[in-house]
Amino acid sequence: MIIAYDFDGTLVEDRWPDIGPKTKWFDLALKLQKNHKLILWTCRTGDLLTAAVEFCKQNGLVFCAVNENLPEIVKVYGTDNRKISADIYIDDRAINVHCKKCTDILEKMLEHDMISSSIIKNLYEGDPNGSEDN
């Protein structure tokens, strides 16, 4: 299985541009890398990306690819598409469109014509109303 992992806010606490402490998702990635192919999928570039990759490596996490598709995927599509091809995406800013709770909240937001970062933030924390609108 191919798993694409975000860095800031997922593998580590979000302290961008610094690197925050490791999270439980980092520990899971360490276990998953034994039997699956992991891709680091992050907005970091340049020195910030290098620092993230090195941090992961120093802590035992080595990726099969960084911000690019695996060679076997490139071969299938004939190019390295902009979208990373993975079976699972683990990202602190993702919403699973197949999750009933997520879709209920999104429908509520659309119904009331509102976009609230607090609703998104609290999506998995059990507070569907959020605490402030942005």
133 band by pLDDT with thresholds 50, 70 and 90: very low
pTM: 0.76
CB 93 within 8 A of CB 6: yes
Domain that holds residue 79: 2-90
At which residue do the structure tokens 């680091």 appear? 40
- Examine the domain organization and report whether 9 and 61 are in the same domain: yes
Q: How many domains does the chain have?
A: 2
pLDDT band of residue 81 (cuts 50, 70, 90) is confident
Q: Are residues 85 and 33 in the same domain?
A: yes
Question: Based on the domain organization, do 7 and 53 belong to the same domain?
Answer: yes
- Please write down the long-range contacts of 68-72, taking CB distance under 8 Å and 24 or more positions apart: 68/39, 69/39, 70/2, 70/37, 70/39
**pLDDT value at 131 more than 60:** no
Do 81 and 123 reside in the same domain of the chain?
no
pLDDT tens-place string over residues 64-80: 999 999 999 999 999 99
